[in-house]
Structure 1
Amino acid sequence: MKKHILLFIVAGAFTATVANAQDIAQRQVPSVILNKFHNDFPHAKDMEWEMKGTQYQVEFETGWWTEHEIWYSAEGEQVKHVEEIPTKDLPNAVQTTVSKEFEGYAIDDAKRITENNKSNYLLDLDGRRYDWEVLIDPSGKVVSQRVD
């Protein structure tokens, strides 16, 4: 019974995600958004656009293994930016928190998430027994964490 409930929940979440996100061609993106995007990221490659609710989302690359996701409002304002970053670019406070609170874990993936002019760092940490997904603010405070 538990498996059926879990399957129902997962299927429902997938259906809701698909229903709320729709791939669109670049020609369907308003020019105010395209102009802002191309001005901010002139070297973007492999762009994929989606409409999510009232926002436009673009996934793209700016170099080897440097992936981005940006959400724009219909007016062309950047709402959210998620970018992969090298671990060496993490603030010292974030690195210190990882080494103290997650001793023995290695950073597998690091992303900077910027919303409302505020950045946080989403880290995938690999360990022997568990893997963690941890959100840490620039001062090193753990905002959220979950076993992955």
Structure 2
Amino acid sequence: MKNLILISMILAVFSFSACGQKKDVPAKIKTAFEQKFPTAQKVKWDKENETEWEAEFKMNGKEYSANFSSDGKWMETEYEIEKSEIPQAVKQTLDNEFAGYDLEEAEISETTDGKVYEFALEKGETKMEVAITPDGKVVKKEVKKEDEEDND
């Protein structure tokens, strides 16, 4: 009986460690990440596609995601923000151009091209993804209907 318990414990440890293994993230990507986000905590890595890695982590009390190319180049960082953190110029654009839409999600996306505010908006059955520059210019507007998603 003791052997059976011991074997069960060993198998449990192996199963747990296999599930908890980290993805094999290339060293140059980890190094680039650590240099850009030295205070990041609880980092989880995923391979986004063949040429891109994504790290999800916590920093300054917020949840972040950052993408790096296979050669270690930083590509994008995203993090959610509260409605109160949206700048006035961006709020004005939302109010003027997207009146009647409910704000489902707000986040900041930073790339080498700069910063944009990204929003998930909803009005009835219509869902929309919008990106607005800090000075209030709409740079992306993508409409999605719920029934289109259901027919896929």
TM over 0.5: yes
Q: In structure 2, how many angstroms separate the alpha carbons of the residues matched to 1:61 and 1:105?
A: 30
Report the AA paired with residue 78 of structure 2: V
Shift of 1:95: 0.8
Of 28-37 and 78-87, deviating more is: 28-37
Partner of 1:21: none
Task: Structure 1: give runs of 5+ residues left out of the alignment.
Answer: 1-24
2:25–2:45: 8 Å Cα contact kept in structure 1? no
Poorly superposed stretches of 4+, deviation over 6 Å: none
Aligned length, in residue pairs: 123
Q: In structure 2, how many angstroms separate the alpha carbons of the residues matched to 1:70 and 1:116?
A: 12
Q: Which secondary structure does the structure 2 equivalent of 1:59 belong to?
A: strand
1:47–1:61: 8 Å Cα contact kept in structure 2? no
Normalised TM-score (structure 2): 0.66
Partner of 2:41: 44
Q: Sequence identity, in percent?
A: 27
Task: Structure 2: give runs of 5+ residues left out of the alignment.
Answer: 1-20, 145-152
Normalised TM-score (structure 1): 0.68
Report the AA paired with residue 105 of structure 1: Y
Alignment of 1:3-82 (within 5 A): 26=22, 28-39=24-35, 40-45=37-42, 47-50=44-47, 52-62=49-59, 66-82=62-78
Shift of 1:118: 0.9
CA RMSD of aligned residues (A): 2.4
